[in-house]
Structure 1
Amino acid sequence: MSAITQFRTAAHELIDFIDASPSPWHAVASAEVLLRAHGFTRLEEGDRWQLAANGRYYVVRGGASTIAFVLGSQPMAEAGLRIVGAHTDSPGLRLKPKAAMSGDGISRLAVEVYGGPILATFTDRDLSLAGRVVLRTATGQETRLLRFAQPLVRLPNLAIHMNREVNEQGLKLNKQTELPLILGLMCEGDNAEAQLRKLLADAVQADAADLLSWELSVYDVQKGCLWGANQEFIADSQLDNLASTHAALSALIATKQPAATCVAAFFDHEEVGSESATGAGGSFVIDVLHRISLQAGLDEEDRRRAIARSFFISADMAHAYNPNFPGAYEPGHKVVVNGGPVIKTNVNQRYTTNAETAARFMTLCEKAGVPYQQYSHRSDLGCGSTIGPMIAAQLGVASVDVGSPMWAMHSARESAGVHDHAYMIAALSAAFGS
């Protein structure tokens, strides 16, 4: 298989993963399909764990976060752990618990802004709903995934004739009054709440009266694709950060009998601060690592020795240089699409990278035969952050922040490089094998 074919195969696998994962709950379900297909066994947090030597396992918390791991052949206190972290959520719009609105003969759905999306990019697109609903059953309650494959809702733009300055001042949307999504026309006697409940109930094959609650994301139904003169770019939703999630999954799945125990952790709620039971700011990764160490027979002294010999990679997408906006970038750090993984540095610890961990990741890239780049944000612009700083602080582990370069981060439709996805898989595979 040629290098170009390998690059495109990895890119198409990423597109398929994203298109099957329109919500964080679907992303974990998609990850579970891949993990099970490659010999991983699911563990439950409420059960006692019995881990076999060289075993391959995963555990899910809250439906939207999962941690998978492969036990190493060497003692954990001597070899340490190789950990990659990413997140399953993406910025966008979420339905409010009582979302149905009616007036002027139109039913609409009230939404809340989740994280920091570019709101204007959600206008005039084929949008739908995906997430999970909780049903009343004879034995208690049951959670089911829900996805409307067809366009269901829309956020129409205001015509330029009523907004003459839109091209000069940009589209500005009031989050309370101008974001409700159009669902359908209302006839006399119709009830918007009943209409919504029936749609949801029919989608999960249940009675509307049994619907208790739901968490639903708004997503763009347009599928991902390759684009460019040589099909060298990827376009899709949620590249931030399902591209990193898929890269880490692919690398872990391909890891066979590693010396060090390898862990891939995927968290919800990164886009809103990670402070939740399923977020990186919670106890999930600490709980899982502690239980692994207990199964390995480590006492507290050896557990600390293991952490001291471990390496954590926070994998989150990076800002690629956009030639249409040259003034937005630090002059010496214009990373390019298809130029390889990006090592992200910020002296204020928005990223965890230091000189030693940057050099370690550079060495891994060299071992994998892939190029690498370095990124620093403009000093007069606020820098985003990742799960890296909080995981590094919680564990006390050597850490680096990296990501694949992309354009239009937090847009409803983002772009990245075909080569870069394969590069990142190779670099993370090298990390798991180190």
Structure 2
Amino acid sequence: MRRVVRTLIAAAVAVVAACGGALGAPDRTAPPANAGALAAAYRDFLDAGRTPADIVAWTTTRSPGWRRIDPLATKAARVAPGDRLVFVDRDRTALFVVVGRRPLAGAGARLVCGHIDTPAPRLRADALVDDAGEARLVTYRYGGARRHHWLGIPLGLVGRVATAGGDEVAVRLGFAGDGFSFYATDERDGSAVAIAASTHAAKETPSHTFARELYRRYGITAADLATAELYLVPAWPARDVGVDRAFVGAHGQDDRLNSFAAWRALIDAAGDEPPERTMVAWLVDREEIGSTGPTGARSRFLDTVFSWLLRAEGAADDERTLARAFAASAALSADTPAALNPNFPEPHVARLAPRLGGGPVLFPYAGRRGKQGSHLARAERIREVVDLFASAGAPLQVAELGKVDAGGGGTISKYLAERGIDVVDVGIPVVSMHSPLELSAKADLWHGYRAFRAWLRGAAQAH
């Protein structure tokens, strides 16, 4: 990968037209009137949601009227068509559900699923070291972050720490208002990024200076860092890009771009009359490291929620009934494909490359090396996606994730398919994927939001 960052210059006439002019001061809670209003809410989401736990907290608190449910409750409360429910596991994954008129056991559900984790340096257990008059935080890669991208930019520290006293403390350090930031100075042994945290203070080592600040703000000791879930992320906020404000530049848009669109589409679709089939938006964790763990797509969380819903409808929740509900369901795995970068076109076949401003991207298969690890969508389900997106007025690009046997990637689609759910990979694209500043088009976000809303309801919305 090239290490020289060059300016991306792109014509964006169609993008600007979709943005509805000046942003003004949109109501961030009402359904968005245009792409500009939706992008303003999206920037708020990105700035607040620096970790999966942050995003779950942000989305649940901005979903008034939604009832939070413990799916492990032995007795499921009865539900009615139109009921709005949210299921949260370990504060790091959330399922938003609108109950449909037809029973889940026979009609299944309509799902849009995106992941809310993103590549970034994460603190190691032995993170805090003194080195040449500085306190340094030593990190390892979470996901597919490129280490050299993180050098020489202002960074903030964010996440959670489990203290010896039994508390779980949220940390947010080095952002606007603090008056300082952290700084990645070099790569350690080609495998870790060293972060400058503080320098010598009188009669103290640098690590004492840093630890004292943690204790002053949060009551955290240096020893507590061994039980921390802390990430270094760019300290800058999400921002408009280009003199025409056609783009959004921010860290973490893979895959928070699609996750936001899915969540917002469901929230706004819930305001309509009760849907024919149950609608679901799943914000899932751990995709960037293989969807492992209790909050990843390979966990049993989706099964647990479906079982609860079956009981709440008065149906059995045995293995056969659950299998029928999954088999009757259909999902979009909404992950972010890499759009063509004019400065770095080599990973793509140009005619099959996604482009910013061209709308969401349908990629019938993912995987790598002969499409190993891919989910191959059925032609009939792909046809439904194409027709629904067209009826919603959303352009749809059909593309690949990169050159055959050269590029590629994975999504959570295969884990949905293993449950018997029909699934298609569709996502809103970005340029500079997995970098500290990814680029997306406001028009693509707008079209993705409208298309996801149409998919969830199984019908087009007026446009």
Question: Could you say whether these structures have the same fold, taking a TM-score greater than 0.5 normalized by the shorter chain as the test?
Answer: yes
CA contact (8 A) 1:268 1:279 kept: yes
Could you list the per-position Cα deviations for residues 340-399 of structure 1 after superposition, in whole angstroms to 9, with x for gaps in the alignment? 110012254524433222212111201211100111231131411011111211x11110
- 1:23 correspondence with 2:37: no
Q: Which residue of 2 aligns with 1:42?
A: 68
Could you list the per-position Cα deviations for residues 202-240 of structure 1 after superposition, in whole angstroms to 9, with x for gaps in the alignment? 333x36499583210101111111122421111011010
**Post-superposition, which runs of at least 4 consecutive aligned residues in structure 1 deviate over 6 A?**
none
Counterparts of 1:23-422 in structure 2, within 5 Å, are 23-35=51-63, 37=64, 39-48=65-74, 49-53=76-80, 54-137=82-165, 141-148=166-173, 149=175, 150=178, 151-156=180-185, 174-176=189-191, 179-187=193-201, 189-204=203-218, 206=219, 208=221, 211=224, 213-256=227-270, 257-299=274-316, 300=318, 301-346=320-365, 347-376=371-400, 377-393=402-418, 395-422=419-446
User: 1: CA distance between counterparts of 2:224 and 2:355?
Assistant: 48
**Aligned-pair identity (%):** 27
Q: By how many angstroms is 1:9 displaced? A: 1.0
User: 2: CA distance between counterparts of 1:8 and 1:191?
Assistant: 49
Q: Which residue of 2 aligns with 1:4?
A: 19
Assess, with a 3 A threshold, how the Cα gap between structure 1 residues 106 and 211 changes in structure 2: closer, same or farther: closer
CA contact (8 A) 1:136 1:211 kept: yes
Q: By how many angstroms is 1:245 displaced? A: 1.0
How many residues are paired up? 411
Structure 1 gap ranges (5+): 158-171
CA contact (8 A) 1:100 1:192 kept: no
User: 1: CA distance between counterparts of 2:153 and 2:167?
Assistant: 32
Could you list the per-position Cα deviations for residues 35-91 of structure 1 after superposition, in whole angstroms to 9, with x for gaps in the alignment? 2x3x11212345444243132111221221111111112222343101111111101
Structure 2 gap ranges (5+): 1-16, 21-33, 366-370, 459-463
User: 2: CA distance between counterparts of 1:306 and 1:200?
Assistant: 49
Q: Which moved more, 1:120-129 or 1:413-422?
A: 120-129
User: 2: CA distance between counterparts of 1:344 and 1:202?
Assistant: 50
Assess, with a 3 A threshold, how the Cα gap between structure 1 residues 297 and 155 changes in structure 2: closer, same or farther: same
TM-score, structure 2 normalization: 0.83
Q: Which moved more, 1:407-416 or 1:255-264?
A: 255-264
TM-score, structure 1 normalization: 0.89
Q: Secondary structure at the match of 1:391?
A: helix
User: 1: CA distance between counterparts of 2:375 and 2:62?
Assistant: 30
CA RMSD of aligned residues (A): 2.2
User: 1: CA distance between counterparts of 2:422 and 2:220?
Assistant: 51
